[in-house]
């Protein structure tokens, strides 16, 4: 596991921001490993990600907010500090389709996703066998008609008890309430089996097939109160032809879903995403 810190900054664009941050880190013996930035000229915004080695860093993490405050105040920064030695705790939500779940579990087992997965939550029992195979606690929380509020209350209890930082909807086929997304702002990642904003909602492959499209896609995004309208993290597409039937579209689409969801989760747990307005910046 890396022993690094990541500083993420959003502020009004101005001269001297990079110099001020670099100077601050230099004065505390930081060895900067990666630095990236983006300016949104239309909005007058500056966004930045800096990662440095904590070995030899002369400032205790608990002291960082107080010492960095003058720099942050000078440039009206919104910022946060993340550390690689504190892995993101991820809850996986799934329904009956388990291809995204299995892909994430495999990537986690092989070390590609450097996070903790303390639980899997489902409204169906089908995925329990995979939870047992990967030795992760499985929680069945049914969502009967009219039972969403009670189901989410149980889910909130589980998430709090397991100190979950991020919820991943690995083809969890339930619409989350506004209360849920407000409790976890930009901390719920969903995968939609369509290249948003096309074919929002249910059965997008069926509607794509009926429309005769030549490209199908998948989208990972942060879930918000507005269905399929959250900030987009990643998208990908595959070409199809008139020879492809509905089942072919679904099969090809599932491969895309796994890829775009795993990328989004990896970028989130590596602290590479900054959200502003309805957009995201993904730092390399």
Which residues are catalytically annotated?
228
Q: How far apart are CA 131 and CA 129, in angstroms?
A: 5
246 CB neighbour count, 10 Å cutoff: 12
Residue indicated by tokens 């039972």: 147
- The CA-to-CA distance between both ends of the chain, in Å, stands at 19
Tally the C-alpha atoms within 13 A of residue 185's C-alpha that lie toward its C-beta.
6
- 269-284 residues labelled b (16+ CB within 10 A) or e (exposed): bbbbbbbeeeebbbbe
Q: What is the dihedral of CA 141, 227, 80, 8, to 10 degrees?
A: 130
Q: How far apart are CA 63 and CA 179, in angstroms?
A: 34
Q: Residue 274 in 3-state DSSP?
A: strand
Q: How far apart are CA 63 and CA 90, in angstroms?
A: 27
Task: Give the helix/strand (H/E) hosting 48.
Answer: strand 45-53
């Amino acid at each position: 596991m890396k022993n690094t810190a990541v500083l993420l900054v959003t502020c009004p664009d101005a001269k001297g921001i990079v110099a001020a941050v670099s100077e601050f880190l230099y004065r505390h013996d930081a060895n900067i490993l990666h630095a990236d930035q983006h300016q949104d000229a239309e909005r007058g915004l500056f966004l930045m990600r800096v990662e440095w080695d904590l070995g030899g860093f002369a400032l205790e993490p608990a002291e960082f907010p107080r010492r960095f405050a003058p720099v942050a105040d000078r440039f009206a920064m919104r910022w946060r500090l993340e550390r690689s030695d504190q892995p993101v705790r991820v809850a996986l939500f799934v329904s009956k389709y388990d291809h995204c779940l299995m892909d994430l579990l495999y990537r986690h087992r092989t070390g590609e996703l450097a996070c903790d997965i303390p639980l899997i939550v489902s409204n169906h029992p089908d995925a329990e066998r995979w939870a047992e195979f990967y030795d992760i606690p499985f929680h069945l929380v049914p969502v009967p008609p009219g039972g969403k509020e009670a189901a989410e209350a149980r889910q909130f209890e589980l998430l709090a008890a397991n100190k979950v930082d991020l919820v991943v909807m690995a083809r969890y086929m339930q619409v989350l309430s506004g209360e849920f997304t407000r409790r976890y702002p930009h901390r719920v990642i969903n995968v939609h089996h369509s290249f948003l904003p096309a074919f929002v909602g249910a059965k997008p492959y069926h509607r794509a097939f009926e429309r005769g499209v030549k490209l199908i896609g998948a989208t990972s995004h942060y879930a918000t109160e507005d269905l399929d309208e959250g900030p987009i993290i990643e998208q990908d597409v595959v070409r199809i032809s008139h020879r492809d039937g509905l089942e072919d579209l679904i099969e090809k689409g599932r491969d895309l879903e796994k890829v775009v969801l795993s990328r989004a989760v990896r970028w989130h747990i590596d602290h590479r995403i900054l959200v502003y307005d309805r957009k995201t910046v993904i730092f390399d």
